[in-house]
Structure 1
Amino acid sequence: MKKQEGNTKLSKLLNGIERVGNKLPDPFILFVYLAVGVIILSWIISLFDVTFTLPGKEEEMAIKNLISGEGLQYMLTSMLDNFVGFKPLGIVLAMMLGIGLADKVGLIETFIKNTILKAPKPLITYAVIFTGILGNLAADAAFVIVPPLAAMVFYNVGRHPLAGLAAGFAGVGSGFTANILVTNTDAVLSGISSEVMQTLDTAVTVTPVDNWYFMIASVVVLSVTGALITEKVVEPRLGVYQGNVQKEFEDTTQVERKGLRNAAIASLIYIGLLVLAISLPNSALRNEQGGLVPSPFLDGIVPIIMLFFITVAVAYGVTVKKIESTRSIAKFMGEAMKDMSGFIVLIFAAAQFIAYFEWTNIGSWLAVSGAEFLESVGVTGIVVVIGFVFLTALLNLLVFSGSAQWALEAPIFLKMFYFLGYHPAFIQAAYRIADSSTNIITPMNPYIIIVLAFMREYDKKAGLGTLIALMLPYSVTFLLVWIVLLLAFVFLGIPFGPGVEVYL
């Protein structure tokens, strides 16, 4: 497909980003190169006898050289442990047993379709954005489900289909990290964060629920924001649609609606039993003081969520006859694991890079140096975090994978802000809003071409510039509104998750 060329500064900027981004290797190879870079860098820095001291510690630390007998032994003997012991790997695969099963039996797609199709006309736009945001339960599949469905719904109610497509794409892309449930994204990012924090002598860690409260609020705020942008900015600019296409959607069937109902009943029963188990006197899910922060409940949140999705998926799958025996459950889970093959390959390389970065002490040295510099110039307040948000948003234009980008940033920035007194889960939340906001305008998003294909079904002349111009108001506004929400949590003292404040 030939993209639309433009002479505007924005078009030139985006075209430049695309050219640079296309020169970057696949994320797996990128981490291989970065690991090799750490090996070489460790040798160079070690020649200068660089030493530093961690805040609160007396012992001096030095940069360790990987191009040495000790370094070679470490790389050979630790390779499998680095991979198998990489925390995000087990967390994500366990979560996908449940979420993947729900996806393969059709529960998530039916929920998405039913939410949009059953919404009252005045609330259609809100339902599209809301459903798009929640669509990250289906991971990247939401990019090919929500936007075309939203376009068809808008077209069939007499509204401009491209406004519907834009709203759907904005919800899925720029709202990707938010949700009312704890999802695979929470598992991936918190796993990387906790892996980094384990290298420090601290009990502070990050769990999949540590950004939960903030992400629930984000769903509400972004749903309203996205709907207002669609109805007040995007749709008026598009005008009245003059095309005539044959686009009709397939409504959910009676058995699918019955399956959705049974899944809802199963979820209520599961949640009810879980609440009962927590509420019992001397509950094994509470800590010794009877609280939940910290507690075995939070420590075991991944298997609890996994079993929740398995429960609702089985209820739906049995109803719609997708699950006919226990063999069906294992088969669908196996198919979900196949979809994770690319992630597993990426994690192997990323795990080596992070392990080398930590073993050499380069990550800690950069973090300490960065923190000391900021303190020396008197810039340690929340303005630094906002600067980090904008930096991440720009980097996301070049590195689309959120997990890959966080694996790059976390070893430096998570530690640096920790030394400045910030809770790592708070910094992770700041990263997430930046990483999501620019998803819909980066040429590195592989789904942009797919969405463009959907767009051309309604406008044959549409090009990449047309799509980017359509999505830019969402991207910029989402980022700014999300920053305001972040600041509201900061200054009002609202926890970002159970027991998670801004400062340690």
Structure 2
Amino acid sequence: MSQPQLNPETGEKKGLFMRFLDTVERIGNKLPHPFMLFVYLAAFVMVLSMIVSSFGVTVVHPGTQEEMAIKSLLTGEGLNYIISSMLSNFTGFAPLGLVLVMMLGIGLAQKVGLIQTFMRKAIINAPPKLVTYAVLFAGVIGNLASDAALIIVPPLAAMVFYGLGRHPLAGLAAGFAGAGAGFTANIFIAGTDALLSGISTEVAQTVQEGFVVTPVDNWFFMIFSVLMLMFVGAFVTEKIIEPKLGKYEGNAEKRLEEITQTENRGLRNAMFAGLVYIGLVALVVLPSDAPLRGPDGGLVPSPFLSGIIPIILFFFITVAVAYGLTVGKIKGTADIPNYMSEAMKDMSGYIVLIFAASQFIAYFNWSNLGIWVAVNGAEFLQNANLTGVFVIVGFTLLTAIINLFIFSGSAQWALMAPIFIPMFMILDYNPAYVQLAYRIGDSATNIITPLNPYMLVVLAFMREYDKKAGFGTLFAIMLPYALFFLAFWIVIFVVWTFTGIPIGPGVEMKLN
């Protein structure tokens, strides 16, 4: 008989859930780095294309009705494509330019300290009764600064809770829930929107030429998601987590660092500059004959929506410069490109990953394996009568499970999009709608996967208040957030679908 697994920290027998998490961690740690994962997948596609093409397999393209043969990448033609297209696959990959341009502005705002100060201000100055909501809001909005929110918000929230006589681990959990599980939501258009929509566009165009998923296509739903995360997260914190933790008996001797007068002045000037910028944009968007409206005078489609990334870029540059000048971070014009350069250094890992992911997607599409898998998958779903909104919900649940093993959201979407977007497009689902279903599943389980590198960081913060805290403690307090967020997100997603409310400007569930 096998010996029962014991918790090394308590010596007690591990429960089923903890054993499951151990399995997830063990399998996930055996997976290669996301870059190498795409290298291996590209090699797999090469071999698979050779095998399938040897049987003379063909598929009818659902858009053009053209009969297409599966092409082998391991032929003279295929090898020529691999060599000749490598640079264009990378430089022409839609998400690359979108995300890098976005991060020029957002990165500048982060480097001068604007985003960090805004998060601190939102939490520290909140009325005691609204502190939980402020913590969750700051965590969610903080994804503008990418992973910085995961470092800033949880320990700050713990200190605020401690100062109010509440259990600090409850504050830390709320901060981690907002920044981690709320990573995909925002009231602003963020780098995540640009990254995912770029991948979605790249894949969707293999089915319908010229089809574009814009960064604002999930915007309405994501704005509402911020509110959902705040209220549901506050409920979980105050009704489940704090009663579970009980009264805090420790003495952490933590002191909050107040917002300085200069930082307050910087925030005020940034707000004024932002309002002026928004006013100027409104002048070229809102009038019926405005230059950024569409040919028919509407906003969907329009130059405003198609050019949303440059508009957002200049917004963040405007507010970042106003803040930076006020607090003394920007002393001359040369400081602006220097901070932007620092922000681009932080994107180096993403750029390397995109190089490998872009090759995999290009090979998958060129070989026609993507269309072949999509057509056969769509036929299977139709024959099994698995259509409607609930098949998309099933896709969300699948995403949530896979996210336990592949933490990188961009890597996971680059892996799943080439299969599922064409499949669902053939069933007449809008790619932006499929992308939204992915975002829900990908975000909700971020805070319970052992492969989240920030788990160790949050655990270190926990041990400042509870020396005995371990991964079991962390998972136990984060699991309710993950389950509640996922459940409410799915319910809202289904209701949103049946009511026919657009998830973004002019974007509904079906293509037709």
Partner SS, residue 142 of structure 2: helix
How far does the alpha carbon of each residue in 1:207-243 deviate from its partner, in whole angstroms, 9 at most, with x for none?
0000000000000011000001000000000000000
2:340 corresponds to: 333
Q: Within 2, Cα distance between the matches of 1:434 and 1:238?
A: 28
Partner SS, residue 459 of structure 1: coil
Q: Within 2, Cα distance between the matches of 1:479 and 1:60?
A: 41
Q: Within 2, Cα distance between the matches of 1:253 and 1:125?
A: 23
Query: Which residue of 458, 469, 486 corresponds with 2:493?
Result: 486
Query: Which residue of 71, 75, 84 corresponds with 1:77?
Result: 84
How far does the alpha carbon of each residue in 1:98-155 deviate from its partner, in whole angstroms, 9 at most, with x for none?
0000000000000000000000000000110111111101101111100000000000
1:22 corresponds to: 29
**Paired residues of 2:283 and 2:290 also in contact (CA < 8 A):** no
Query: Which residue of 403, 418, 421 corresponds with 2:410?
Result: 403
Q: Within 1, Cα distance between the matches of 2:394 and 2:24?
A: 20
Query: Which residue of 393, 397, 404 corresponds with 1:386?
Result: 393
Q: Are 1:321 and 2:328 an aligned pair?
A: yes
Query: Which residue of 202, 206, 218 corresponds with 1:211?
Result: 218
Q: Within 2, Cα distance between the matches of 1:41 and 1:124?
A: 54
How far off its partner does 1:70 sit? 0.1
Q: Are 1:118 and 2:113 an aligned pair?
A: no
Q: Within 1, Cα distance between the matches of 2:64 and 2:347?
A: 41
Q: Within 1, Cα distance between the matches of 2:389 and 2:380?
A: 16
Q: Please give the residue correspondences for 1:367-382 in structure 2 after superposition, counting only pairs within 5 Å.
A: 367-382=374-389
Q: Are 1:221 and 2:228 an aligned pair?
A: yes
Write the letter of the residue equivalent to 1:80: L
How far does the alpha carbon of each residue in 1:237-287 deviate from its partner, in whole angstroms, 9 at most, with x for none?
000000011111101100001000111111111111111111345222011
1:345 corresponds to: 352
Q: Are 1:303 and 2:310 an aligned pair?
A: yes
Query: Which residue of 177, 187, 194 corresponds with 1:187?
Result: 194
**Paired residues of 1:4 and 1:462 also in contact (CA < 8 A):** no
2:275 corresponds to: 268
Partner SS, residue 52 of structure 1: strand
Range with bigger deviation, 155-164 or 484-493:
484-493
Q: Within 1, Cα distance between the matches of 2:65 and 2:406?
A: 38
Q: Please give the residue correspondences for 1:227-306 in structure 2 after superposition, counting only pairs within 5 Å.
A: 227-306=234-313
1:40 corresponds to: 47
Q: Within 2, Cα distance between the matches of 1:201 and 1:414?
A: 11
Write the letter of the residue equivalent to 1:383: F
RMSD in angstroms over aligned alpha carbons? 1.2
Q: Within 1, Cα distance between the matches of 2:132 and 2:243?
A: 14
Q: Within 2, Cα distance between the matches of 1:37 and 1:292?
A: 44
How far off its partner does 1:88 sit? 0.5
1:477 corresponds to: 484
Q: Are 1:499 and 2:496 an aligned pair?
A: no
2:319 corresponds to: 312
Partner SS, residue 59 of structure 2: strand
The alignment of Structure 1 onto Structure 2 pairs a total of residues equal to 504
* TM-score w.r.t. length of structure 1: 0.98
Q: Quick one: structure 1 residues 3 and 105, their matched pair in 2 at CA, closer, same or farther if it must change by over 3 Å?
A: farther
Q: Are 1:435 and 2:428 an aligned pair?
A: no
How far does the alpha carbon of each residue in 1:336-387 deviate from its partner, in whole angstroms, 9 at most, with x for none?
0000000000000000000000000111111110001111121111111011
How far does the alpha carbon of each residue in 1:33-52 deviate from its partner, in whole angstroms, 9 at most, with x for none?
11111111111111111111
**Paired residues of 1:6 and 1:465 also in contact (CA < 8 A):** no
How far off its partner does 1:202 sit? 3.7
How far off its partner does 1:3 sit? 10
1:53 corresponds to: 60
Q: Within 2, Cα distance between the matches of 1:58 and 1:366?
A: 16
How far off its partner does 1:427 sit? 0.7
Q: Within 1, Cα distance between the matches of 2:288 and 2:434?
A: 36
Write the letter of the residue equivalent to 1:117: I
Q: Quick one: structure 1 residues 3 and 408, their matched pair in 2 at CA, closer, same or farther if it must change by over 3 Å?
A: farther
Q: Within 1, Cα distance between the matches of 2:10 and 2:330?
A: 44
How far off its partner does 1:6 sit? 5.2
Q: Within 2, Cα distance between the matches of 1:264 and 1:57?
A: 50
* TM-score w.r.t. length of structure 2: 0.97
**Paired residues of 2:62 and 2:207 also in contact (CA < 8 A):** no
How far does the alpha carbon of each residue in 1:420-445 deviate from its partner, in whole angstroms, 9 at most, with x for none?
01111011111001000000000010
How far off its partner does 1:55 sit? 2.3
Q: Within 2, Cα distance between the matches of 1:171 and 1:55?
A: 41
**Paired residues of 1:396 and 1:435 also in contact (CA < 8 A):** yes
Partner SS, residue 326 of structure 1: coil
Write the letter of the residue equivalent to 1:110: T
Partner SS, residue 279 of structure 1: coil
User: 4+ residue runs of structure 1 moved beyond 6 angstroms?
Assistant: 1-5
Partner SS, residue 405 of structure 2: coil
Q: Within 1, Cα distance between the matches of 2:13 and 2:195?
A: 38
Q: Within 1, Cα distance between the matches of 2:39 and 2:63?
A: 34
Q: Within 1, Cα distance between the matches of 2:327 and 2:483?
A: 42
**Paired residues of 1:354 and 1:407 also in contact (CA < 8 A):** yes
1:101 corresponds to: 108
Q: Are 1:416 and 2:423 an aligned pair?
A: yes
Write the letter of the residue equivalent to 1:124: V
Q: Percent identity?
A: 62
Partner SS, residue 458 of structure 1: coil
Q: Quick one: structure 1 residues 406 and 5, their matched pair in 2 at CA, closer, same or farther if it must change by over 3 Å?
A: farther
Gaps of 5+ in 1: none
2:4 corresponds to: none
1:357 corresponds to: 364
1:149 corresponds to: 156
How far off its partner does 1:204 sit? 2.9
Q: Within 2, Cα distance between the matches of 1:440 and 1:201?
A: 36
Query: Which residue of 18, 32, 38 corresponds with 1:31?
Result: 38
Q: Within 2, Cα distance between the matches of 1:393 and 1:21?
A: 14
**Paired residues of 2:187 and 2:226 also in contact (CA < 8 A):** yes
Partner SS, residue 278 of structure 1: coil
Write the letter of the residue equivalent to 2:294: N
Gaps of 5+ in 2: 1-7
Partner SS, residue 305 of structure 1: helix
Range with bigger deviation, 324-333 or 53-62:
53-62
Range with bigger deviation, 313-322 or 371-380:
371-380
Q: Within 1, Cα distance between the matches of 2:450 and 2:10?
A: 11
Write the letter of the residue equivalent to 1:249: L
Write the letter of the residue equivalent to 1:393: A
Range with bigger deviation, 81-90 or 271-280:
271-280
2:184 corresponds to: 177
**Paired residues of 2:28 and 2:406 also in contact (CA < 8 A):** yes
